[in-house]
Amino acid sequence: MTDIAPQLMQAASMMAIGMIAVFFFLTLLVAATQQLAKLAPPIDDSIPSQTSNPNSTSQHSKLDPKLVAVISSAVQQYRNNHKV
């Protein structure tokens, strides 16, 4: 039988080199991300978001019922023709 100790040593060496390479890559990635975050302007929270617009909910009630019926019919027809 052959001695597998040299192969195990080589495998451990390759594993250590790989782990060190990943560690340095991730360290570089974190450092680059932090530097880019310093360069980017901060987000201004004083701008209101569009989801808090009270007029957006009233627009849904103004949908044309004929248009809703046409779309519903088209969806139903598609589902009937393309059964999964």
The full DSSP string for 18-53 is: HHHHHHHHHHHHHHHHHHHHHHSPPPPTTSPPGGG-
Over residues 18-44, mean pLDDT: 93
Q: According to the model, what pLDDT value does residue 56 have?
A: 53
Over residues 52-73, mean pLDDT: 75
What's the pTM? 0.46
Q: According to the model, what pLDDT value does residue 36 have?
A: 92
Rounded alpha-carbon distances, angstroms, from residue 48 to 13, 44, 54, 56: 56, 10, 12, 14
Over residues 25-42, mean pLDDT: 92
Residue 9 has pLDDT above 90, yes or no: yes
